[in-house]
């Protein structure tokens, strides 16, 4: 008899498995239908021996010392600040848009103060900022919006930014200084030996049994367990009874090149015409030294594994219906990006899982079942 059946060995499922097993001594069966742990953060050495991220580039960043300290129990870190360039009008310019982006793109030499005025003269007043279009045009105006955001967002999400919640493009700020880091969080690091190694350490406990290539449906009625933590898509758990929740997918094209470097920074975005949104080169992220280099192209698609919940009002409504069912389902906790339909970064999922652990501890004192 397991105390817990945990579905999904990504951040949500693995953090909870670790906490329940090590803090409470609970017996945990952790299943994943994929052949590996780590969920979308899974990394592996490719045929050339280069550490790549199977599901696209994952950069850890957080402002939470508690989350950083928690994960530090399972890995050493490599300091890494991500930088992104955009290929726009034949030039490579910094993203997020900053002073250098505009000076390079238009051949100007504006100072930060002049740039503020330049932006103010182009920004379009928007009454209530609701959509992903509003966020950008109200800050930088329509021309930069079209160059940097409109095409990229239509590719990535399959809808126009005017049909997406403001939270999507609000992830990418505008800066009037020359700071060219993609993130400004206090803690920005990569796990020194990779994500998969960190997950292996997290799950190393006699109380945790991991079963891969195992679908929840195949074990739920066979393996005796008291309670469940589910981190897969919430609509699937309930047999899609209210209809499918839309998730956006990606196809990844991994390539190894017979050259030491491919591009000057970790990621180059292609916001204008290509079919792919971005190309990432892992050696920037990992610091690995190798005569070859491996890169990944991301091609957005409607079909395939669910990667991104799509933040739009009608999807939020549909999710709420499933959430009401979830709240009325005893002994099952729904956690993570797919089960709570939230466009969360890794650190937010870890935070959500740790908060769930605290709620479980309050509701079920350790040893209550024995
Ligand atoms: P997942 O990692 O998706 O894990 C869920 C697991 O459940 C999966 O392994 C799945 O196989 C399993 N599962 C589902 N249903 C079943 C079932 N029925 N039976 C068995 N197993 C099941 N975040 C950052 O902080 N920084 C980044 O740079 C970053 N880059 C990203 C890039 C891309 C391309 C993507 C898609 C995401 C990125 N993220 C990034 C977000 C990050 O991937 C997620 O926040 C995090 O991995 C979510 O963890 P999770 O455990 O909720 O879900
Ligand atoms: N975005 C854009 N152009 C860019 C970068 C981002 O239009 O050059 C928009 C796009 O809608 C994207 C969103 O901002 O999906 C969030 O970007 P982020 O890099 O955070 O996406 P993720 O890494 O989560 O795929």
The predicted-structure confidence for 311-333, as pLDDT tens digits, reads as follows: 999 999 999 999 999 999 999 99
Give the tens place of pLDDT for each residue, 263-284. 999 999 999 889 999 999 999 9
CA end-to-end span of the chain: 11
Give the residue from 12, 26, 28 showing the smallest Cα distance to 232.
12
Which residue matches tokens 């209210």? 242
Q: Are residues 157 and 212 in the same domain?
A: no
Residue ranges in the chain assigned as alpha helix (H): 11-24, 65-72, 99-106, 112-122, 132-140, 142-144, 151-157, 195-202, 216-219, 234-237, 282-286, 313-327, 346-363
Q: So what's the pLDDT on residue 369?
A: 72
Beta-carbon neighbour count of residue 173 at 10 Å? 15
Same domain, 235 and 315: yes
**Cα(102) to centroid(ligand 1), Å:** 35
Six token digits for residue 214 = 């195992």
Predicted local confidence at residue 370, as pLDDT: 55
Of 171, 192, 212, which marks where a domain is finished? 171
Same domain, 237 and 334: yes
What is the distance in A from the centroid of ligand 1 to the CA of 13? 10
CA–centroid distance, residue 139 to ligand 1 (Å): 31
337 CA → ligand 1 middle, Å:
7
- Give the residue among 304, 361, 360 at the shortest CA–CA distance from 335: 360
The whole domain housing 225 covers: 2-37+203-246+310-363
Quote the number of domains for the chain. 2
More confident residue, 17 or 369: 17
Residue 113 covered by a domain: yes
**267 CB less than 6 Å from ligand 2?**
no
Indicate whether residue 344 lines ligand 1 (CB < 6 A).
Answer: yes
- Whether 348 is in a domain gets the answer yes
Same domain (yes/no): 16, 133: no
Distances (CA, A) of 315 to 48, 244, 307, 318, 322: 42, 10, 15, 5, 11
Burial 294-310 (b: 16+ CB within 10 A, else e): bbbbbebeeeeebbbbb
What pLDDT is recorded for position 366? 79
**pTM of the entire structure?**
0.98
Check pLDDT > 80 for residue 106. Answer: yes
328 and 234, same domain (yes or no): yes
Report how far residue 241's alpha carbon sits from residue 243's, in angstroms, rounded to the nearest whole number.
6
Residue 240 lies in a domain: yes
Question: Do residue 19 and residue 100 come from a single domain?
Answer: no
Residue 18: give its domain's CATH number.
Answer: 3.40.50.720
pLDDT surpasses 80 at 368: no
| Ligand 1 near 10 CB (within 6 A) | yes
Residue after which a domain boundary falls, among 118, 152, 171: 171
pLDDT for res 365: 85
Which one of 11, 40, 156, 342 would you pick to mutate in the ligand 1 pocket, going by the greatest count of ligand atoms within 8 A of its CB? 40
Ligand 2 centroid, distance to 159 Cα (angstroms): 13
Residue 158: per-residue pLDDT = 95
Could you tell me if residue 162 is inside a domain? yes
Residue 268 placed within a domain: no
Q: Answer whether 95 contacts ligand 2 (Cβ < 6 A).
A: yes
The residue out of 118, 147, 171 marking a domain boundary is 171
* Cβ(156) – ligand 1 distance below 6 Å: no
Q: Are 25 and 96 contained in the same domain?
A: no
pLDDT in tens, 179-211: 999 999 999 999 999 999 999 999 999 999 999
Nearest CA to ligand 1 atom 34: 56
pLDDT recorded at residue 313: 94
Quick: pLDDT tens for 20-76: 999 999 999 999 999 999 999 999 999 999 999 999 999 999 999 999 999 999 999
Closest CA to 227 of 27, 46, 15: 27
> Going by DSSP bridges, is the β-strand pair 247-257/208-211 parallel, antiparallel, or unpaired?
unpaired
Q: Cβ-count burial of 261 within 10 angstroms (0-12 exposed, 13-18 middle, 19+ buried)?
A: exposed
Q: Are residues 29 and 154 in the same domain?
A: no
Ligand 2 pocket residue status of 168, Cβ below 6 Å:
yes
- List, for residues 352-365, the tens digit of each pLDDT value: 999 999 999 999 98
Q: Tell me how far the alpha carbon of residue 308 lies from the centroid of ligand 1, in angstroms.
A: 9
Q: What is the pLDDT of residue 202?
A: 98
- Does the CB atom of residue 297 touch ligand 1 within 6 A? no
Token pair for 199:
């997950």
> Is there a single domain that holds both residue 158 and residue 218?
no
């Amino acid at each position: 008899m397991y105390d817990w059946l945990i579905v999904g060995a990504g951040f949500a499922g693995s953090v909870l498995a670790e906490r329940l097993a090590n803090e409470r001594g609970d017996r945990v069966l952790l299943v994943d239908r994929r052949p590996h742990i780590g969920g979308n953060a899974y990394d592996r050495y490719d045929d050339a021996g280069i550490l790549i991220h199977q599901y696209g580039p994952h950069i850890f960043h957080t402002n939470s010392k508690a989350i950083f300290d928690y994960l530090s129990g399972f890995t050493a870190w490599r300091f890494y600040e991500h930088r992104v360039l955009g290929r726009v009008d034949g030039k490579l310019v910094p993203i997020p848009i900053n002073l250098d982006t505009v000076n390079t793109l238009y051949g100007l030499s504006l100072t930060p103060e002049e740039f503020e005025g330049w932006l103010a003269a182009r920004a379009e007043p928007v009454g209530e900022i609701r959509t992903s279009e509003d966020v950008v045009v109200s800050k930088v105006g329509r021309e930069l919006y079209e160059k940097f955001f409109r095409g990229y967002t239509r590719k990535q999400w399959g809808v126009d930014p005017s049909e997406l919640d403001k939270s999507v493009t609000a992830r990418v700020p505008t800066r009037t200084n020359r700071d060219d880091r993609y993130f400004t969080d206090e803690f920005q690091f990569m796990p020194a030996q990779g994500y998969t190694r960190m997950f292996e350490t997290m799950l190393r406990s006699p109380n945790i049994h991991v079963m891969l290539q195992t679908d929840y449906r195949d074990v739920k009625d066979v393996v005796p367990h008291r309670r469940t933590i589910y981190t897969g898509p919430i609509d699937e758990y309930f047999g899609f009874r209210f209809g499918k929740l839309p998730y956006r997918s990606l196809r990844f094209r991994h390539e190894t090149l017979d050259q030491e470097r491919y591009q000057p920074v970790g990621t180059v975005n292609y916001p204008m015409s290509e079919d792919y949104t971005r190309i990432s080169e892992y050696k920037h992220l990992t610091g690995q030294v190798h005569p070859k280099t491996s890169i990944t192209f991301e091609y957005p698609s409607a079909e395939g594994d669910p990667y991104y919940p799509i933040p739009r009002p009608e999807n939020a409504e549909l999710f709420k219906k499933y959430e009401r069912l979830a709240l009325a389902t005893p002994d099952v906790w729904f956690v993570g990006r797919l089960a709570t339909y939230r466009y969360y970064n890794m650190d937010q999922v870890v935070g959500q899982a740790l908060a769930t652990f605290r709620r479980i501890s309050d509701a079920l004192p350790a040893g209550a079942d024995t």
